[in-house]
Amino acid sequence: MKIIVCLKQVPNTSEVKINKETGTLIRDGIESIINPDDKYALEMALKLKDKYNAEVTILTMGPAQAKDAINEGLSMGADMGILLTDRAFAGSDTWATATILSAAVEKIKDYDIIICGRQAIDGDTAQVGPEMAEFLNLPQITYVNQLDVRENKVIANRYFEDRDIKMEVDVPVLITVIKGEDEPRYPTAKGIFKYFNQDFIKEWTIKDLDTIDISQIGLKGSPTNVYKSFVPVKEKKVEIIKGDIITIKNSFSEKFKELKLI
């Protein structure tokens, strides 16, 4: 069994700055981490590796520093990593990002399951995984919190607000993951060795992805852009209502109606 896990390196803070010209995040000087949902995706893949001796490949896109995310994943137990890094990729929205990742998956060719986190904390769109499934013409199951394999099928527990549904799909398949019962594991001694051995990481640029149309990627090729970004202002207002009990009661009633609480 061969599994591809898509990881994204994201800022570890809410105090990010926005490039006013491009509408994209300014990441320089900000501590970065593996996106939390993606870390649960990796843990799910590593559980399958433990159980079925699967091969786990990490796929990520970003600048050179994104290699740190791959190194951390290798130290946790992944087998190899691929970093997609090229200035032509910069500023890509979800559509362009999914286009690039899908082209990399097509180059890898040999895989059974693609596992992505539900969404990234720096965008919260939850679009890249499903878009990849469409580009690759794969079945997909989103919001998965448990996953197992039986012969050539995956058995997934798909979360809904009011219930969970067990789904069974043939491989190859794409899965997006939410927080499950198992917390991401700590690095192992064997994994830490990989962290310092760069032979386990490949770097691909746009020249390595034959199927990409350059007009569909990067800032110029992205069909969506950020019109405006801002930090919400939290305001507290206090209003004191005076009078007898009937006056206070009627005032509360009117206020509740204004706020559509009743």
What tens digit of pLDDT does each residue of 56-90 get?
999 999 888 888 899 999 999 999 999 999 898 88
- The answer to which of 114-118, 154-158, 250-254, 256-260 has the lowest mean pLDDT is 256-260
In single-letter form, the type of residue at position 74 comes to L
- pLDDT tier for residue 211 given thresholds of 50, 70 and 90: confident
What are the two backbone dihedrals, phi and then psi, of residue 127, each rounded to the nearest 5 degrees? -105, -30
Backbone torsion region of residue 170, taken as left when φ is above 0, otherwise alpha when ψ lies between -120 and 50, otherwise beta: beta
Closest CA to 78 of 160, 180, 192, 174: 192
Structure confidence at residue 241 (pLDDT):
84
pLDDT over threshold 80, residue 157: yes
- The answer to which of 5-9, 24-28, 153-157, 241-245 has the lowest mean pLDDT is 24-28
Name residues whose C-beta falls within 8 Å of residue 193's C-beta, 6 or more positions apart in sequence.
none
Stretch 158-178: mean pLDDT, rounded?
Answer: 89
Structure confidence at residue 229 (pLDDT):
65
Q: Tally Cβ neighbours within 10 Å of residue 139.
A: 14
What tens digit of pLDDT does each residue of 13-54 get?
655 666 666 656 666 667 788 888 999 999 999 999 999 999
State both tokens at 185.
């594991």
pLDDT over threshold 90, residue 223: no
Q: Tally Cβ neighbours within 10 Å of residue 181.
A: 7
Highest mean pLDDT among 174-183, 190-199, 226-235: 174-183
- The answer to which of 164-168, 228-232, 257-261 has the lowest mean pLDDT is 228-232
CA angle centred on 54, ends 49 and 59, rounded to 5°: 90
Structure confidence at residue 23 (pLDDT):
59
What are the two backbone dihedrals, phi and then psi, of residue 9, each rounded to the nearest 5 degrees? -90, 130
State both tokens at 242.
């005076």
What does pLDDT average to over the chain?
Answer: 86
Percent of the chain with pLDDT over 90: 40
Stretch 188-215: mean pLDDT, rounded?
Answer: 83
What tens digit of pLDDT does each residue of 85-130 get?
989 888 888 889 999 999 999 999 989 999 999 988 877 788 899 9
Stretch 215-232: mean pLDDT, rounded?
Answer: 77
pLDDT over threshold 70, residue 261: yes
